[in-house]
Structure formats: structure tokens, C-alpha cells
Amino acid sequence: MKKIILADSQAIFRAGTAKVVAMDEDLRIIAQCTDVERMMHAITTFPGAIILFAASLKPDMARMRVLIEAAGSRGIVIAENHENPSTYVQMGFRGVVFRNITGQAMVECIHRIAAGETSVPSQLQVADSPEEDVVGTRVRDRLTPKEMRIVALIVQGCKNREIAQRLKTTEQVIKNYLRSIYDKTGVSDRLELALFTIHHRVLAQAAAEVGSKLEAEERAAAQAAQTVSSRTQVAPPAVA
């Protein structure tokens, strides 16, 4: 039984990876971590494990490599789709996967690293143009702006209630939109939707851009509300 420590701040990606790993009888996730501190603790607590961690956590890579080697473990870096895997190979990591990796490829990578081999995406994968993702492009173009906002929030791990609050609508409306989104993407639930989005680079980029825009709009609205509140508090009393 190969022990795996999974570290990533994206709840949806962790859930999808755990689901895939659970299907292999030789693999077992013994710890899931959402930040660097918990990951470091898990590495020292469970020696001899495969450490599958996201580069987006931004750990001290030199310290990570030393800690992993001291624990008799092996590390696999989850790189973002636009990154060059050779960067992490030069840092001393023998395993690198892209976030849009398929479940089967993920399992194969884990087994190769556990066997002491090297597993790194080919440079051809890095050079792939987003336009070559025909499926992702077709789905992106079929989704309405409102549907894309919902997809972006699903990828972030938001539940229907939170999505409704952030988009200023009702949960029932969100459920109705999700049915349309499922039909257009060919998935059956929110986990499959999130993984489908992550695995298609064009769609993932579109969702990330929409998510960033939505967060910017929310920050601007909050600042505007705070400004109005401040002005109200300092307004002079009305003259009788």
C-alpha cells in the first residue's frame, strides 16, 4: 500500500484526486492538507509517503526537497497548466504533473514515482496552444456569461447558497442554471463539472478570468459601500 499526502488549497481538485486514487487498491491518501504548515507537519508525521502538492501553495521548494528526502518520501509537484515542468525538475523534484492531468495519468505518475522513476510532462504538452483544446473552446463558447460565472465559483468550491449570495439571486435559480450547464458540458454533478473545467485549458483560463473579475467587482462594491457608510457617519446634523 502506497501512502499519499495530498496538499492543495483547491477543495474541488483534492476531492477529484481523492476519488481517482480511491479506485486503485494499491494507493491510499493518509492526509489532506490545505496549506504549507499542515503539509510540512504531515511530511514529518508520515515518513515514506508520496507527497502530491500544488506549486500554487508557494512553499520553500529547497526546504521541501530536504524535508521530503529526510523523511524517505518522494514528491510530485502539481504545476499550473501554463508552467514549465523543467523548472521543478531543476529544483530536484522527479515528479511533475499539470493540474489538468487525467485521472489515469495521475495514478500512473504516482506509481512511477513510488518505483523510483521520473515522471514529467513532455515539452510538447507545455507548448500546446489553448486553441488546440477543441472541446474546451466549444463548451466555453456555448456557456452564457452568467453560466460562466457559476462555473468559476463551482471551481472555487462554492456551494449553491454562496453562489446565489454572490450573484445576488436565489438557490433555485442557480440550480436551474446548473442543469443547463450540465447539459452543455455532458457532466452529471458539480464535482465532474469542476474537474471537466480544470482538465480543459481554454475553459479553465476563461473560468479563472471570470472569477478574478467577479472578485474585483466585489471588492469595488465593498469599498464603495464603506465610503458611503463613512460619509454618513461624519455628516453634520441637519439644521432645524
Beta strands in the chain (DSSP E): 2-7, 27-33, 50-54, 74-79, 95-98
Q: Per residue, what are the HEC states of 212-224?
A: HHHHHHHHHHHHH
Which residues, other chains included, contact 139 with Cβ-Cβ below 8 Å and sequence gap of 6+?
184, 185, 200, 203
The model scores a pTM over 0.75: no
Provide the pLDDT for residue 227. 81
CATH class of 2-127: alpha beta
**CA 28 from centre of chain:** 21
List every span in the chain annotated with CATH 3.40.50.2300. Answer: 2-127
Long-range contacts of residues 121-128, Cβ cutoff 8 Å, at least 24 apart: 121/85, 121/96, 121/97, 123/86, 125/98, 126/83, 126/84, 126/85, 128/201
Tens of pLDDT, residue by residue, the chain (240 residues): 899 999 998 888 888 888 888 889 999 999 999 999 999 999 999 999 999 999 999 999 999 999 999 999 999 999 987 788 888 988 999 999 988 788 888 999 999 999 999 999 865 444 444 446 788 899 999 999 999 999 999 988 889 999 999 999 999 999 999 999 999 999 988 888 988 888 887 888 888 889 889 988 988 888 888 887 777 665 566 555
Is residue 129 packed enough to be buried (19+ CB in 10 Å), middle (13-18) or exposed (0-12)?
Answer: exposed
Say what the pLDDT of residue 132 is.
61
Q: Torsion angle, CA of 61/66/69/71, rounded to 10 degrees?
A: -110
The pLDDT assigned to 198 comes to 81
**Looking at domain 130-231, does it have CATH number 1.10.8.420?**
no
Question: Which ranges in the chain are annotated with CATH 1.10.10.10?
Answer: 130-231
